[in-house]
Amino acid sequence: MARYELVKRSVALITLTNPPVNASSSAVRHAIAKSMKCALSDPEVTAVVICGENGSFCGGADIREFAGPLKGPPLVPLLDAIEAGEKPVVAAIEGVALGGGFELALVCHYRIAHSKARLGFPEVTLGILPAAGGTQRLLRLIGIPAAAISLKLGIVDQVTEQNACEVAVEFALRAVAKPLLSRRVSMLTTRCPPDLDALLDAVTMQVKKKAPGVMAPLACIQAVRAAATMPYYKGIKREGELMATLFNSGQAWALQYCFFAQRTAGKWTLIRSAAVIGLGTMGRGIAVCLARVGISVIAVESEKKLLETGRQMVIGMLERDAKRRGVSASLNLFKFTLSLHDLKDVDLVIEVVFEDMALKKRVFQELSKVCRPATLLCTNTSGLDVDALAGVTDRPHLVVGMHFFSPAHVMKLLEVVCGPRSSSETIATAMSLGKRMGKVSVAVGNCPGFVRNRMLKPYIDQATFLLEEGATPEQIDKALEDFGFAMGVFRMSDLAGLDVGWRVRKESGLNGSDVDPESPPRRRQGRRYCLIPDMVCEQGRFGQKTGGGWYMYDKRGGTNAKPDPLIQNLLETYRSKYGIQPRNISNQEIVERCLFALANEGFGILEDGMAARPEDIDVIYLFGYGFPRHRGGPMFYASMVGLERVLKRLEHYHQAHPDVPHLKPSPLLKTLVACGIPPVQKWREHIKTMHSHL
């Protein structure tokens, strides 16, 4: 609810963390009180900065808490204590400082505001008044009557175009040792015009005319009179009395009701209830995503034991998630069942069973029978044909892919896979559900692997070919990490688990008993194939979860990757078995072969109309694979390198490795070079086949 950290060795930085607007809920007030106590008692701390997370200082008191009894520390004494403290406190205001948020800023000794920040007291719209000293302090600061601009009025001490928090920290360092007395707004005297009574009478008349019968604005005028005529301690008492009258009035209840009703009305949605079939890691994450946004969820498993394990894990995840967000866990939204018949009334189903087409088809046939005709049927397959599933249902137009990425409740990307028969309404519903769950949703076409996984294959293939040719996992990872990835391809694979890819390769006949015994070594289905990943898996090494994969780890689930002599040995034996003379491979070659192969597949995807535009591919890679943001994504990176150079290098590498089709430059890349290399935003104009939905 508030983060406390020491910056520049002597400034305590208190960041309010209560999304979406950092409202000062009881938990936030409690955290501020605790942090201030820490800051004031720590001799190393000489100044304090208060700011809000995610570009919003504070949207005021948490209006949702108004309905219940006051919990946590009351605001007035908390704010008084901040003002009275002996260390300078600076408010760093970005976004909004409204109501109680503005009152918090007013008790700080200095205020730094971003030029776009909005400060104000909207309390009257809720039927109350700023009752944490707001009416008393603001008037002492700017006098009566007041005009508009905050800096001129002296509300803020500095307006900045930079990051307000960084500016405030520097400001705080300069404020140390300066006297604080004159900075305590409650100690100031309100500047009054000589004709105060006449002025307030005139304003009262205006208010009565403009808002007849409305209590809060009139109470505000009385509070202004108190600020003008009474000392602070009496004025704040008066403010409190006025608030008590308003707070319990029907007008305040009605206005606060309107505040939430307006927002609720805007939340019309087709999807109120959903079902998740399969409570493995993925299914559990998806169920949590749905419940987090208030959708009731029926969670289905095939066996009692699996259902019970899934239930306990989902509850654990929900409780941890709710604790982190300072809300109560939405357990009541869940129902757990073994029967698909319980899904007859849900609005949407997400199937997350094992990646097996026959099994998925059985599930979709069954859903088709039990669900009402308007229910959307979604699959979380990571690459199987969505249209083949649509084909076994009675409603192919209501079938769509919703491809989440693991861990589903954390990863931002959602690929919405549009089958040829998915209706526009179905796709739009899946896209908006993704947005509602806080995902970055991208519509993609229905091809094997869709966009992310289809592109990942040539990227990983290049990395394993480089291993054959003489590189080590750590050398390849280092080159990619130097490029900007948080993790190189092998460390990332160890984290994700190597067994899934192994199973997919087996199923597609690339290894195991289905392999043609006549096929030459290191070739499968007419192209180059590296056997090393299969050999690693055959040793039971599936990555971090088994304590070993491309690297070794100190324990199962360990994260500290160390080069493994066993892998070195395996590589050497492999190379000598197949007569490969290892060579020195430069970092440039590693980066070019991995990334140009990745982008080349991206061009292929655009050419096939499986992504609408290069921006979509880049967003998929930014949010679905941690592509370094400062490189813009694989397609933008290719454009920065220069398409002509990318084409030349791909031609060079393809000549050297003619049995690797992914290195053969895509026709779209050639077209773009031939027609004068248009900017990324214009590539779409050169794509011939466009998926009807994209």
Binding site for ligand 3H9 (CB under 6 A): 20-21, 23, 59-64, 75, 96, 98-100, 103, 122-123, 126, 130-132, 134, 263
Residues 394, 349: Cα–Cα separation, whole Å = 15
The nearest distance, CB 572 to ligand 3H9, in angstroms, is 58
Q: Closest distance between ligand 3H9 and the C-beta of residue 105, in Å?
A: 12
Tokens of 1: 């609810």
Minimum CB distance to ligand 3H9, residue 681 (Å): 29
Q: How far is the CB of 24 from ligand 3H9 (least distance, A)?
A: 7
**Spatial contact of 29 and 72, defined as CB atoms under 8 Å apart:** yes
Give the nearer residue to ligand 3H9 in terms of CB position, either 75 or 610: 75
**Contacts of range 219-222, beta carbons closer than 8 Å, 24 or more positions apart:** 219/129, 219/243, 219/245, 219/246, 220/124, 220/129, 220/135
CB nearer to ligand 3H9: pick between 59 and 458: 59
* DSSP conformation letters of 119-152: EE--GGGGT---TTTHHHHHHHHH-SS--S-HHH
Q: For residues 233 and 260, which CB has a smaller minimum distance to ligand 3H9 in the complex?
A: 260
Q: How far is the CB of 325 from ligand 3H9 (least distance, A)?
A: 12
**What HEC string does 163-222 produce?**
CHHHHHHHHHHHHCCCCCHHHCHHHCCCCCCCCHHHHHHHHHHHHHHHCCCCHHHHHHHH
Nearest to 551 by CA among 502, 498, 497, 494: 494
The residue with its CB nearest to ligand 3H9 is 99
Q: CB nearer to ligand 3H9: give 232 or 653.
A: 232
Class of residue 202 by CB neighbours under 10 A (exposed 0-12, middle 13-18, buried 19+): exposed
Instruction: Please tell me which residue in 123, 469, 474, 601 is annotated as part of the active site.
Output: 123
Exposed (0-12), middle (13-18) or buried (19+): which is 263, by Cβ within 10 Å? exposed
Q: How far is the CB of 217 from ligand 3H9 (least distance, A)?
A: 15
Q: Report the alpha-carbon distance of residue 287 to residue 404 in Å, rounded.
A: 11
Cβ closer to ligand 3H9: 238 or 691?
Answer: 238
CB nearer to ligand 3H9: give 58 or 443. 58
Q: By C-beta, is 138 or 377 nearer to ligand 3H9?
A: 138
Return phi, psi of residue 419, to 5°. -75, 165
What are the b/e assignments for 132-158, b being 16+ CB within 10 Å?
Answer: bbbbbbbbbbbbbeeeeebeeeebbbe
The minimum distance between CB 214 and ligand 3H9, in angstroms, equals 16
Q: What is the smallest separation between the CB atom of 262 and ligand 3H9, expressed in angstroms?
A: 8
Measured CA to CA, the distance from residue 301 to residue 339 in angstroms comes to 8
Nearer residue to ligand 3H9 within complex by CB, 100 or 419: 100
Side chain identity at residue 20, one-letter code: P
Residue number with CB closer to ligand 3H9 (39 or 126) = 126
Closest CA to 236 of 246, 223, 225: 223
Active site residue 469: no
Q: Which of 103, 415, 468, 615 is catalytic?
A: 103
Where do the DSSP E strands lie in 456-559?
523-524, 527-528
Nearer to ligand 3H9, 256 or 422 (CB): 256
What tokens appear for 502 in the block? 């192994």
DSSP symbol at 230: S
Maximal CA-CA distance, the chain: 104
Q: Which is nearer to ligand 3H9, 263 or 630 (CB)?
A: 263
Within 8 A by CB and 6+ apart from 175, the residues are 47, 88, 90, 109, 110
Which helix H or strand E contains 114, and what residues bound it? Answer: strand 110-114
Q: How far is the CB of 298 from ligand 3H9 (least distance, A)?
A: 24
How far apart are alpha carbons 618 and 634 in whole angstroms? 6
123 is known as an active-site residue: yes
Four-point Cα dihedral 402, 407, 412, 415, nearest 10: -20
Whether 20 contacts 53, CB under 8 Å? no
Exposure string of 679-689, with b = 16+ CB inside 10 Å and e = fewer, is ebeebbeebee
The answer to whether 321 and 359 are in contact (CB under 8 A) is no
Nearest distance from C-beta of residue 126 to ligand 3H9, angstroms: 5
Minimum CB–partner distance for residue 168 and ligand 3H9 (Å): 21
* Residue nearer to ligand 3H9 on the CB measure, 134 or 549: 134
Q: Work out the angle at residue 643's Cα, subtended by the Cα atoms of residues 640 and 649, and round it to the nearest 5 degrees.
A: 110
Q: Hey, is 231 helix, strand or coil?
A: coil
Minimal distance, residue 123 CB to ligand 3H9, in Å: 5
User: What's 392-411 look like in SS3?
Assistant: CCCCHHHEEEEEECCCCCCC
HEC profile of 43-61: CCCCEEEEEEHHHCCECCE
Residues taking part in catalysis: 103, 123
